[in-house]
Structure 1
Amino acid sequence: MGRSQPFVLLKPSNLVLKSSGMRHTGPVKNSTTSRESSSPMLRVNLQKFPGFIGHCSSRINRLTNEDSYSINMLKMPTVGSEMNCLWNKGIKDKEAYWATKLPLNKSILNLSVFDGHGGNRISKLLASELHNELAATFPSREAFFELLKQYNDVIGGKYWGKIYDRKEQYFKKFIATCNTKQDQVLFDDKSGSRMIFDQWGNIIDKTSLLTENERLRIFLSYMRFDLRRCCAPASSEEAHGDKNVVTGGSTASSIFLTPYDEPNSIGDTFFINSEGLLKLVVTQVGDTKIVLCDKNGIAHSLTKMHHPSSSRESRRLRTSFQTDSFGETRFLNNFANTRSFGDYVGKQEGLSCEPDIYSYLIGNTQFLPHSERSKLQFGGDECFVCLITDGVSDLMSDQELVDLITSTVNMRGLKVASPQYVSEEVIRFIAAIGGKHSDNATCLVLRLPNWGNWPTVDRTGAIREEKLMSGSSGSERSNV
């Protein structure tokens, strides 16, 4: 089976090899594959990689911090070997063969952010275990249908009964053809396929960025983890009233980054100095946000939030929503989101963790003709990706977030203002402008290959300065 690891293995620039009792330092020439695999490697913890991944979280003005996050490298079989396993009729126990025989040649960088509510149990559980569940899940159609049956039997209610009764249609719509997956790409009018060519005239992407099995793995692992781990109390002390009911839940937003060309994903270092296109897959459950900065310094939201005010969520749940005394729309008169992990008391009514899946083609465009770059969703050569909780997004817009990061780098310089530094700067800014009831705030920043090459323009500097002045004035009055 696949595995996850919180570190990457980097090859030193100067290898030290032993041969016939002699030491040799310097670059190695004509090294074979076996020799390279036995060469010494540097093990770098992904949470201690400040030049490429930044992370910061604070309780701000709450008593506790219910936010969590995880940063891992997933090691998975390549799509070709996995498909051969699934379709090879000579393999009787496909799951056992997949778990023990397939080489893990594909590396996927996974960053996730979780915003807990009603306690931090669920958000911490997701941060420590969800990536392991995803890596270990065998994408089986039969297992998915059995899982829907368990939801119908254990959770019950009209929502899950309807899904189980129409499981074939559900599978076709959300996984096989995935009509709701909102790939923001260009399509050819006649064939319905994407047409992007490299500099040699070869089509580099003609269908979807995700296979059916990859989408199935996400749905199966998320929903199974929610039912078995998040909706069951870890101890009797966590139960509320009925011992089978536990309070609390968490939203979840994740990115999965890998080279578009699978042969380039064998090593762990593809995101450090990528020379080709990258496949960015985003999953969304709730209202935590993911924001991308393009080469022009423009912010792009990569997700859509699951709020009761969403017309799409209203159609999914086939219900109207109530407005509380503060004028906020709530689901079941209690929940600010219509999708989450945990929140057992709302599961029967459709408060599920069914993820929205988005996929984007980003990265280095040096091998693309200029005419083809406009076909990419964001024009290519993107600069960075941010994952933030609503403690950040409620107080500043996407463009303010991006401008705060780019202007900080412009003023401090690339060597000083690393992704780690700017993620901390975002949280410091939130702490400065937030009121006494401000929510927990978390910010993760992933550096992309075009980091630092944005225009020196601060589009929202005046807005941020005004917020800082207002925040400072409010603090002074409260201290009088």
Structure 2
Amino acid sequence: MDLFDDLPEPTQSCASSFQLMSFVFYFGSSSSGLISAASPSPTKEEEEEEEKEEEKRLKRKRDDADCHAEREDEEPAEIKKVCKEGLPVLKGFVAARRGERDEMQDAHVLLPDMNVCLCALPGHVSQVSFFAVFDGHGGARASRFAAENLHANLAKKFPSGEKETFDKLMKKCLLDTFRQTDEDFLKKASSQKPAWKDGSTATCVLVVDDTVYVANLGDSRAVLCRVEAAAAAGADGEKRSLTLSLSREHNPTIYEERMRIQRAGGTVRDGRVLGVLEVSRSIGDGQYKRCGIISTPDLRRVQLTANDRFIILACDGLFKVFSADEAVKFVLNVLQEGSVEQKEGLTEEELRFDAACQQLASEAVRRGCADNVTVILLSIGF
């Protein structure tokens, strides 16, 4: 059995090439002196002493060079790795709207370069990115706590194993990260007077080189826009886009979720746990944990290719008024529009993605969504 729910393989594969390069740095000591015309000539003893010192310096250099040559012969595995060619470049754009709510309870994280958070990368990994949306309920404390701590826990637990076991270790890492974040928040929430009752969904996209791992709790969602390869396009030669779901929603109306809740002694009324909570998995919600609410995410994995255009990562505020396919088509239409307002420091493509993200969130509010709306749009370039 596979470890992840993988998405369909791309119709046209995009091979990545790998290149190893070695850089040798040698630091030697050197001395320089300024001799004044009025300085006295060195004595014979001083000349002999200088000659001895010079011989010692030359011997040290020869020994260092011999030692370095031996290390190269004995330890070829020490050659340093540099970034692989052909890897995707992801750029994140975010738009957040409070809607008709009194408080903004969503939180988000954009870490296009997560390498800086990691102590060390496995030898076969070049780049790591992390993006997440957290949709709070009952307050904003759970979502903000998750936004501040989940990626930090992930960095501490990030696998350092070989390529052959990496997927297995990554699955354990993600499951442990969510469990740890939930336990830490519940401990903090229970220590408050009165105890916090906040909860939060979590949809996280972790990109390791060209592989996307998605971990999801609750009803926030992630979708991928993939353009069909030319060979699969229609007779008119025009490429068509596909909308691929990267996450699975968790609500009490789903059979497996309802059965777990009922086995734990909880009930589902009007599509809600105990008639109150809309989601069946979350971070926080300490008062519902005894009723079968868990913090175990669903995990999915997909390999990115040159056919992939962007990922939409958003809370349910967007998907209450947009289907996944409608959201993808809306973004594509904005990207294909004519002119965009120029802004210093942004390319035309970046301006288009930023405009698409902002307009998508605003359109959700215009269509009548009274909830908070947070949208992260990830552009994918090769």
Which ranges of structure 2 fall in alignment gaps of 5 or more residues?
1-20, 26-89, 228-239, 341-347
After TM superposition, the structure 1 = structure 2 runs for residues 59-458 of structure 1, keeping only pairs within 5 Å, are 59-72=98-111, 73-75=113-115, 76=118, 77-79=120-122, 106-137=126-157, 211-233=167-189, 236-237=192-193, 239-240=194-195, 246-259=196-209, 278-295=210-227, 296-319=240-263, 321-324=267-270, 329-364=271-306, 381-412=307-338, 415=348, 417-434=351-368, 438-449=370-381
Letter matched to residue 108 of structure 2: Y
Offset, 1:106: 4.1
Contact 2:219–2:316 (CA under 8 A) maintained in structure 1 = yes
Offset, 1:405: 0.6
- CA, structure 1 residues 233+294, in 2 after alignment: closer, same or farther (shift >3 Å)? same
Match of 1:453 in 2: none
Letter matched to residue 309 of structure 1: T
Offset, 1:213: 1.6
Inter-partner Cα distance in structure 2 for 1:318 and 1:254: 28
Contact 1:59–1:440 (CA under 8 A) maintained in structure 2 = yes
Inter-partner Cα distance in structure 2 for 1:387 and 1:412: 25
Q: Deviations over 1:265-304 (max 9, x none)?
A: xxxxxxxxxxxxx201100111100011111322221111
| Aligned-partner SS, 1:335 | coil
Contact 1:231–1:342 (CA under 8 A) maintained in structure 2 = no
Inter-partner Cα distance in structure 1 for 2:211 and 2:365: 34
Offset, 1:318: 4.4
| Aligned-partner SS, 1:333 | coil
Offset, 1:78: 4.2
Contact 1:54–1:422 (CA under 8 A) maintained in structure 2 = no
Letter matched to residue 123 of structure 1: S
Offset, 1:74: 2.5
Inter-partner Cα distance in structure 1 for 2:338 and 2:150: 36
- CA, structure 1 residues 53+138, in 2 after alignment: closer, same or farther (shift >3 Å)? closer
Offset, 1:214: 1.4
Offset, 1:420: 1.7
Inter-partner Cα distance in structure 1 for 2:220 and 2:187: 20
- The total of aligned residue pairs comes to 271
Inter-partner Cα distance in structure 2 for 1:61 and 1:127: 23
Offset, 1:409: 1.1
Contact 1:287–1:389 (CA under 8 A) maintained in structure 2 = yes
Inter-partner Cα distance in structure 1 for 2:154 and 2:192: 27
Offset, 1:212: 2.0
TM (normalized to structure 1)? 0.52
Contact 2:334–2:355 (CA under 8 A) maintained in structure 1 = no
- Give the structure with higher Rg (CA): 2
Letter matched to residue 146 of structure 2: L
Offset, 1:344: 0.3
| Aligned-partner SS, 1:290 | strand
- CA, structure 1 residues 79+32, in 2 after alignment: closer, same or farther (shift >3 Å)? closer
Letter matched to residue 198 of structure 2: G
Match of 2:75 in 1: none
Contact 1:363–1:448 (CA under 8 A) maintained in structure 2 = no
| Aligned-partner SS, 1:253 | strand
- CA, structure 1 residues 302+138, in 2 after alignment: closer, same or farther (shift >3 Å)? closer
Letter matched to residue 150 of structure 2: L
| Aligned-partner SS, 2:250 | coil
Offset, 1:413: 5.3
Match of 2:91 in 1: 52
- CA, structure 1 residues 257+388, in 2 after alignment: closer, same or farther (shift >3 Å)? same
Identical amino acids, percent of aligned pairs: 23
Contact 1:255–1:282 (CA under 8 A) maintained in structure 2 = yes
Offset, 1:79: 4.3
- CA, structure 1 residues 321+256, in 2 after alignment: closer, same or farther (shift >3 Å)? same
Inter-partner Cα distance in structure 2 for 1:32 and 1:219: 37
Inter-partner Cα distance in structure 1 for 2:339 and 2:310: 16
Inter-partner Cα distance in structure 2 for 1:34 and 1:351: 55
- CA, structure 1 residues 400+74, in 2 after alignment: closer, same or farther (shift >3 Å)? same
Match of 1:18 in 2: none
Contact 1:54–1:418 (CA under 8 A) maintained in structure 2 = no
Inter-partner Cα distance in structure 2 for 1:292 and 1:390: 16
Inter-partner Cα distance in structure 2 for 1:293 and 1:221: 28
- CA, structure 1 residues 322+411, in 2 after alignment: closer, same or farther (shift >3 Å)? same
- CA, structure 1 residues 230+400, in 2 after alignment: closer, same or farther (shift >3 Å)? same
Contact 2:122–2:159 (CA under 8 A) maintained in structure 1 = no
Offset, 1:80: 5.6
Inter-partner Cα distance in structure 2 for 1:420 and 1:230: 36
